[in-house]
Amino acid sequence: MSAPSMGDLSAAVTALASLTVRFPDLPGVAVRITTVYPDQLELAAHDDLSAFEAWREALGIDPEDVVHGVQSGGTTRVLDAHTVFMGAQLRLIGFAKVPALAASLDVAA
């Protein structure tokens, strides 16, 4: 099996280009396209769950399809959702501090 080519990334790149045209006023997010998952476009909102929510609504992802979790010893909340957009697998991720736990860890330090 050969390594993916730039052409193999076309679905993700095309989806990203379309998103910038369709939703120019949505919050900026971190974007990831990788040869590991060549047909996937990842959008990540860091420290701003309102940005995650704006993108979730625009993409038509049902709130019930969002997976909630925590990481970093319970100090970071993670929201994860998936959809298909223009032939690409789109992953939307949101990260935010868990306020009560993060504050208690700061006091303990």
Residue 11 is predicted with a pLDDT of 95
pTM exceeds 0.75 for this model? yes
Q: Mean pLDDT over all residues of the chain?
A: 89
State the SS3 of the chain: CCCCCHHHHHHHHHHHHHHHHHCCCCCCCEEEEECCEEEEEEEEEECCHHHHHHHHHHHCCCHHHCEEEEECCCCEEEEEEEEEECCEEEEEEEEEECHHHHHHHHHHC
Residue 106 is predicted with a pLDDT of 52
Residue 2 is predicted with a pLDDT of 75
**pLDDT tens figures, 18-55:** 999 999 999 999 999 999 999 999 999 998 899 999 99
